[in-house]
Amino acid sequence: MTASRLQRFFPFLAVLGSVTALGLGTSWAKQVLFPAVGAQGTTAVRVGLSAVLMLLLWRPWRWRLSRADAKAVALYGAALGAMNLMFYMSIQTLPFGLAVAIEFAGPLAVAIWSSRRAMDFLWVALAMVGLGLLLPLGLSGSTLDPVGVMYSVGAAVFWALYIIYGKRAGHLHAGQSVSLGLLVAAMVVVPVGVAHAGAALLSPSVLLVGLCVAAISSAIPISLEMMALKRLPKEAFGIMISMEPAVAALLALPLLGEQLSAIQWLAIGCIVAASMGSAMTAGRSKAAHLARSEPVTVSG
């Protein structure tokens, strides 16, 4: 019975572990690496070492890659690299949880754009309320740094492109697409980091912390998410991954000392609810479509 319950809750625990590991790694990077090499250098170290780890783990050269697939992986990887760079630039001046909440507008927009259900307008409105409570130009009197907000919005755009291009490479083995995608991402961000931080990137302490951050922020979350996706419908996975802004904000309280106001917590709640609602109704719509398309059978 205990083993059965553990099996049932494993996907949830895997997703929770994934978003927690990502939050821990990012918090550690902001606390330790930002003062040493800045956001650009941190992105270079994290993505570059993540690429090395995933290449060693998956050895993607074992699979053939067509020219069309190589182009899809290149676009996917470039979007991944730009998304990481923009996000790390944003959390220089924004609280971690709020930056993640704004960034979530990207996947939410992709999910809603691909659907035409009336219910989606509710999730759009809810997400807009949440973003309106956060953005400096909103009516809430927010004092968030406008430059940080623009970087977070840029991360949202590249997250949307990452999803779109990732789907084009979705038929490839996950280990192959992720490892090669990270290699391309490293080619995008490492030159930026080198230009900003120079030889400081080769400091043994920076490389050691960077390797730990790469493992915690990339290798562990990606592995856990892949295990969860094998056991969950994509819609259920989308609902669970929507916890990320809230988990990030909760982790930032003790780790970074980032206190949020009641309005900001409300904004995060609106965005999380919009993301979960979008994933939930997408699953119901798909199930209803499959039910309608199945042939009717009469028993007896």
Summarize pLDDT for 28-61 with one digit per residue, the tens.
999 999 999 999 999 999 999 999 999 998 999 9
Contacts of residue 244, Cβ cutoff 8 Å, sequence gap at least 6: 19, 22, 23, 100, 104
What is the mean predicted confidence (pLDDT) over 13-20?
Answer: 90
Asked if pLDDT for residue 300 goes beyond 70, the answer is no
Residue 157 has pLDDT above 80, yes or no: yes
What sign results for the dihedral spanned by CA atoms 270, 272, 278, 281? negative
> To which H or E segment does residue 111 belong?
helix 105-113
Q: Tell which wins on pLDDT, 122 or 47.
A: 47
CA-nearest of 168, 155, 29, 169 to 80 is: 155
Mean pLDDT of 186-194: 97
Q: Among 58-67, 137-146, 216-225, which stretch is predicted with the lowest mean pLDDT? A: 137-146
10: Cβ contacts below 8 Å, ≥ 6 apart: 227, 228, 231
Over 60: is that where the pLDDT of 297 sits? no
Report pLDDT for 96.
95
pLDDT of residue 226: 73
What pLDDT does residue 142 have? 59
Task: Give pLDDT, residue 291.
Answer: 37
- The mean pLDDT of 115-135, rounded to a whole number, is 82
Whole-number Å distance between alpha carbons of 50 and 36: 19
- In total, the chain counts a number of residues equal to 300
Query: Both tokens of residue 240?
Result: 């669970």
Is the separation of the CB atoms in 272 and 243 below 8 Å?
Answer: yes
What digits encode the pLDDT tens for the residues 282-295? 655 554 443 333 33
| 224 or 48: which leads in pLDDT | 48
Q: What is the pTM of this model?
A: 0.86
Q: What phi and psi, each to the nearest 5 degrees, are found at residue 233? A: -65, 150
Give the three-class secondary structure for 285: helix
